Amino acid sequence: MSKVTDAKVLAVYMVAPNTYYMEFEAPDIARLAMPGQFVHVRCNDSLDPLLRRPISIHMVSRPKGVLALLFRVVGKGTEMLSQYKPGDRVNMMGPLGRGFTLPLPGSKVAVAAGGIGAAPLVFLVQELANMKCQVTVYLGARDKKSVLCDGQFVQMEAEVVIATDDGSMGFKGTVPQLMQRHMDWRKTAMTYVCGPKVMMQEIAPMLQEADVPGEVSLEERMGCGVGACLSCAVKISHHGQISTKRACADGPVFPSWQVVWD
């Protein structure tokens, strides 16, 4: 069940170039939210932009009724959202979508994040930590200044291994290359992935070859956010049959081996 609420802004600040953290008082959504779900946010009181923006849930404090978002400014809507101040109210609908499938308590799991794809994985690691899982986070970015959420993952006692394209922090290379070098495939019960499409497309067959279950969180353009407009169609293969699913309602999380990437 989703809610529509005028959430009070508690905090907003830039954490990396063009990347903002926002915290809201939204007890109804915080109470219902699960890792991997998103909220549909109205970025302005006017009709410009007309459509809401889908933003993944970054962190939740259910006891405090607090919801946090982490997003990158990529257009008019998110630029307007970044300009809100504490005390302002933002209309949002959520939680929406299908989230991650949680493993058995105490499992050894891997989390692969690229760029802003780290945003929804913080909430996931938050839940995995509560379940006493052993978590290794493979965290990728263009450069040191663009690395997101590493401190939050460490605070939740996850092992964090970093890859940057230019080698300014951690391993020089991509997240898939880092996983090939570092990951203990035989002991990993589940892998969760969110990031650029090319990264997820490369990791998915690696998981299938190693027979490691995995889930990917897809970042598709959405219109209505509730499955009516079909603007976020995704091709899925199941038992050899290809069908079309809606990222907003059937996802945004899908089994990694089912997504048709081409």
Question: What is the SS3 assignment for 251?
Answer: coil
What would the mean pLDDT of 34-44 be, rounded to a whole number? Answer: 92
Arithmetic mean of pLDDT over the chain: 91
Q: For the ranges 5-9, 40-44, 108-112, which has the lowest average pLDDT?
A: 40-44
Q: Is the pLDDT of residue 224 over 60?
A: no
Across 24-44, average pLDDT? 94
Any idea what DSSP says for residue 48?
S
**Per-residue confidence (pLDDT) for residue 199, from 0 to 100:** 96
Q: pLDDT of 86-119, one tens digit each?
A: 999 999 999 999 999 999 999 999 999 999 999 9
Predicted local distance difference test score (pLDDT) of residue 89: 96
Residue 46's pLDDT is what?
67
Backbone angles phi, psi at 62, to 5 degrees: -65, -40
Q: Residue 238 and residue 33: Cα distance in Å, rounded? A: 28
Where are the chain's structural domains? 3-96, 108-216
**Helix (H, G, I), strand (E, B), or coil: what is residue 175?**
helix
Work out the percent of the chain whose per-residue pLDDT is above 70.
93
| CATH code for the domain defined by 108-216 | 3.40.50.80
Tell me the average pLDDT across 6-24: 95
pTM of the model: 0.92
For strand 19-25 and strand 253-255, is the pairing parallel, antiparallel, or unpaired? unpaired
Q: Peptide bond preceding 49: is omega within 30 degrees of 0, i.e. cis? A: yes
Q: Give the pLDDT band (50/70/90) at residue 237.
A: confident
**Alpha carbon of residue 215 to chain centroid:** 11
Q: Mean pLDDT throughout 52-71? A: 94
pLDDT at 232 exceeding the cut of 90? no
Do the strands 53-61 and 134-141 form a parallel or antiparallel pair, or are they unpaired? unpaired
Contact 38, 97 (CB under 8 A): yes
Distance of CA 60 to the CA centre of its chain: 13
CA–CA gap between residue 208 and residue 204 (Å, rounded): 6
Say yes or no to pLDDT of 229 above 80: no
- Residue 77 clears pLDDT 90, i.e. is over it: no
Question: Into which CATH architecture does domain 3-96 fall?
Answer: Beta Barrel (2.40)
Q: Is 121's pLDDT higher than 80?
A: yes
| Cα 89 to chain centroid, rounded | 23
Instruction: Give helix 175-182 / helix 197-210 axis angle, nearest 10°.
Output: 20
Residue length of the chain: 262
User: Angle at Cα 176 formed by Cα 262 and Cα 248, nearest 5°?
Assistant: 50
